[in-house]
Structure 1
Amino acid sequence: MAVEEPNYTLVQSDPDFELRRYAPYLVAETRVTGDFDSVGNQAFRILAGYIFGDNRSQTKLEMTAPVTQTTAEGTGERLEMTAPVIQRSDGDGTSGTYVLSFVMPAGYRLDTLPVPTDPRVTLREEPSRLMAVRRYSGRWTRSNYLEQESRLLRGIRQAGLQPIGTPRYARYNPPFTPWFLRRNEVMVEVAEPSAP
């Protein structure tokens, strides 16, 4: 069964990463505190409640991918309360505050998405961005993620690209998917390359 993902255009393919230009898309997100390896379960329950009908209109939304996770440090963004999961953290990355997001199905606008009843859920639009993305399989562990993040950052710097902001961890499969079949990605926004 195909799961909807955000639209992007492949700009460049490199052995260590893909350069993708994402179109704007909507997310439902929540902030949770804990260690990198366990916050996903906590946030998933909150966000799954929203898409499975815990909203004012009791509307059920289709599951999309990815679920993203990133550190909350350095975002400097205030989210407006409106009516997939990304994870971010602060501190040393082992324990801290993370932002996890579910991508919302296409066809909605911020003003047409169901209004969350849980105050921990906020809705916002991700703007169009140029993202460097490294795809990998394996377990959902901090050590696996950090290894892939390091390879991504090294690869984009070698390609002459400048990362912007905090890397994101994206998971595309349900927890029952065998670890060796999982699609994971680490992604980071990059500055527009200067013209030659």
Structure 2
Amino acid sequence: MANAFELGAAILGGLGALVGIRAGTEQPRYTVVERLGDLEVRHYGPRLAAEATVSGSATAARSAGFEAVAGYIFGANTAKSSIAMTAPVAQSAAGGSQTIAMTAPVTQTADGAGSWKVQFIMPARYTRATLPVPTSDKVSIVELPAQDYAVLRFSGSRSGPAVARRTGQLASALAGQGWKATGPPTAWFYDPPWTPSFLRRNEVAAPVALTISAGSTTPR
């Protein structure tokens, strides 16, 4: 039987979609600050996210977290009227509840031993005041501040070991580049499981701050 992550992605993407969530779906806006070989340093503005904290392996936690937060965007919230969709891939709940458009990527961050945060970034049109409140105590709305991220993009497997390996590559590639990681790494997933491995867009990212240029002793 498909797990919750697969079922949620199927609902969102449609059975005929090849690249799934990513096709026509709103993504957080960013600007590229610098390119460092295979890395991009991107600046993201403030964002809102629906977040669930779950325990288990990276893959199991992703499924459980997806299920919890998908419930929120499928209508487990306090709104009483429908809103316009910001992406064509979405589902409206019956009974007048508001359904929030899906955005990409789904994010996953380690939060202590065996614990993970799984987030959906909310569409940019919302503010804290206009975003519906979750009705489940498993989901919370968090404000993400403007931040620079060092990002490494990859395709293929997004298993726990694969993500860990790519995170190590990110750290190695960032060393000596004048940017310092300021927080834990995050994995970003843009596509559902049925997407062919070579077409998947996966990323690992770490929040960073500018220190000095490589080979320089003064701040940039």
Query: Shorter-chain TM-score: which interval?
Result: 0.7 to 0.9
Q: Which residue of 2 aligns with 1:191?
A: 209
CA distance in 1, matches of 2:193, 2:184: 25
Give me the CA root mean square deviation: 1.1
- Distance (whole Å) between structure 2 residues aligned to residue 124 and residue 112 of structure 1: 14
If each structure's helix is expressed as a fraction of its own residues, which one has the higher value? Answer: 2
Q: 2:62 aligns with which of 33, 40, 56?
A: 40
- How far residue 56 of structure 1 moved from its aligned partner, in angstroms, is 1.4
User: Which position in structure 1 is the counterpart of 2:144?
Assistant: 126
Gaps of 5+ in 2: 1-22, 80-96, 213-218
Q: Sequence identity of aligned pairs in percent?
A: 39
Q: 1:144 aligned to 2:162? A: yes
- Give the superposition deviation at 1:151: 0.8
Any residues of structure 2 matched to 1:85-164 within 5 Å, and which? 90-91=112-113, 96-164=114-182
Residue-pair matches, total? 175
1:67 matched to which residue of 2?
Answer: 106
Which residue of the partner structure matches residue 52 of structure 1?
A: 74
Rounded Cα–Cα distance in structure 2 between residues aligned with 1:160 and 1:192: 6
- TM-score w.r.t. length of structure 2: 0.77
- C-alpha distance in 2, partners of 1:169/1:71? 9
Counterpart of 2:210 in 1: which secondary structure? coil
Stretches of structure 1 that go unaligned for 5 or more consecutive residues are 73-89
The counterpart of 1:17, out of the listed 34, 39, 56, is 39
**Which structure: greater strand fraction?**
1
Shift in Å, 1:16: 2.7
| 1:12-50 deviations in Å (ceiling 9; x for gaps) | 112131000111111000000001121111111111110
**Partners of 1:53 and 1:59 within 8 A in 2:** yes
Q: Between Structure 1 and Structure 2, whose CA radius of gyration is higher?
A: 2
165, 168, 171: which one aligns with 2:189: 171
Q: What does the per-residue CA deviation read over 1:91-115, in whole Å, with 9 as the maximum and x for residues that have no partner?
A: 2xxxx01000000011101111011
Distance 1:165 1:193 in 2: 15
